[in-house]
Chains A and B, each alone.
Chain A
Amino acid sequence: MKCGRCRAPAVIEVRRHNAGYCRDCFLRHCGEQVRRAIDHFDMAGPGDRILVAVSGGKDSLGLWQLLRDLGYEADGLYLGLGIGEYSDESARYVREFAHDRDWKLVEIDLATDYGFDVEGGSRAAKRAPCSACGLSKRHIFNDAAIRHGYDVLATGHNLDDEAAVLFGNVLRWETEFLGRQHPVLPAAPGFVRKVKPLIRLSERELAAYCVLTGIDYIVEECPMSGGNRHLGYKNMLNEIEERSPGTKAAFVLGFLERAQERFTGEVEVARDDLRPCTLCAAPTPGDICAFCRMRARAVGEPIGVRISS
């Protein structure tokens, strides 16, 4: 197979573009897709300081590299989730990546800084581990970006992640979630701007990007993600993609172009109507935010007691 751009031997085929790419043309393609997503959705401007949430996986480390290569001032944020050896190993990949490039890495540890880990939060809040993990990440990423003075928080959600979430939301007609599903959540009081610059790249492309640029990432899956509903959706979508290349991109990008706006009226609580959590000041529809309630249950405090730190 030859590269569709320069006719050199190809190292990867991307069937949705009906093309093979050599190493250099593929890396250029990845940069172009991120540039296009950032510009099209107005994710970040030239002077913005970006905090990239990095997990040690291919998507977030690839994103950090791509943003830097595009000239953005981007630092990393690693959250230790306390998932045994898996967290220890993912932290090693992140630290080595940042150290090798002499890039700034902000580190937060759920157990040290908040007194519980994902498993404890999951048990205490009676949430699935992925739900407790997601709640912790959303809260802490936003808080860290604001406290450290960043303009933008970037996450490594890729085309497959967004397709799986969209698939789940459509299957159950979660109209409020559909109204919120967008690669940019604008800044609002108490919220930093959140962006997903990898929306135009599949996870296969991200894995190839890392292999070709020598980024060492954790290949093993989180031990708590087994049976995760979104993993099942991704497998189903990949089978459809195999028969009909381009379906995932058409599904997600078509939704954003032609349908998402129709659901924005379904978003019950507008971000502007939220008020500060009485414990941590994060915006919440009630008095105490969901993260502080989970933390209090996990550490055995009565709900409503302020953390002394």
Chain B
Amino acid sequence: MRVVLRNPKRELDVPAPRNIGILLRDLDIVPESVLVIRNDTLATHDERLRDDDVVEIRPVTSGGAA
């Protein structure tokens, strides 16, 4: 499956883990800090993944607190 990461934008090809929660854990990403968009639709962490999925992991943290 393909994983799209942002800031900077880059892509990874990885074997599909069982679900999105496990994917985030494998990539050492804190779930609270991202949205997961699977095949252009928001996805919950229990959703199963397939090898032909494209998953964007979009960070939600912005620095505009000044």
Residues B32 and A204 in contact, CB atoms below 8 Å apart: yes
- Tell me which of A42-50, A92-100, A185-193, A226-234 binds B: A226-234
Residues B32 and A12 in contact, CB atoms below 8 Å apart: no
Residues B41 and A207 in contact, CB atoms below 8 Å apart: no
> Is B65 among interface residues, defined by CB-CB distance under 8 A?
yes
Residues A208 and B35 in contact, CB atoms below 8 Å apart: yes
Contacts of A20 in B (CB 8 A): 44
Q: Which of B34, B58, B61 contacts A160 (CB 8 A)?
A: B61
Question: Whole-angstrom distance from the CB of B60 to the nearest CB of chain A?
Answer: 4
Residues A131 and B66 in contact, CB atoms below 8 Å apart: yes
- CA A59 – CA B64 in complex, angstroms? 10
Contacts of B61 in A (CB 8 A): 160, 203, 231, 234-235, 238
Contacts of B34 in A (CB 8 A): 204
- CA A235 – CA B56 in complex, angstroms? 20
Q: Which of B32, B60, B66 contacts A206 (CB 8 A)?
A: B60
Residues of A in contact (CB 8 Å), total 44
> Is A165 among interface residues, defined by CB-CB distance under 8 A?
yes
Give the interface SS of chain A, mostly helix, strand, loop or mixed: helix
Contacts of B32 in A (CB 8 A): 15, 202, 204, 238, 241-242
Contacts of B58 in A (CB 8 A): 207, 219
> Is A222 among interface residues, defined by CB-CB distance under 8 A?
yes
Given known pairs A204-B32, A239-B30, the reply for A222 and B44 (CB within 8 Å) is: no
> Is A261 among interface residues, defined by CB-CB distance under 8 A?
no
Q: Please, what's the 1-or-0 string for A4-48, where 1 marks a CB less than 8 Å from any CB in chain B?
A: 000000111101000010000000000000000000000000000
Q: Which of B33, B42, B46, B62 contacts A211 (CB 8 A)?
A: B42
> Is B6 among interface residues, defined by CB-CB distance under 8 A?
yes
Q: Please, what's the 1-or-0 string for B31-66, where 1 marks a CB less than 8 Å from any CB in chain A?
A: 111110100011111100000000000111111111
Residues A58 and B60 in contact, CB atoms below 8 Å apart: yes
> Is A220 among interface residues, defined by CB-CB distance under 8 A?
yes
Residues B35 and A204 in contact, CB atoms below 8 Å apart: yes
Chain A residue nearest to B33 (CB atoms) is: A238
> Is A250 among interface residues, defined by CB-CB distance under 8 A?
no
Residues A208 and B42 in contact, CB atoms below 8 Å apart: yes
Residues B41 and A161 in contact, CB atoms below 8 Å apart: no
Q: Which of A11, A134, A211, A212 contacts B44 (CB 8 A)?
A: A11
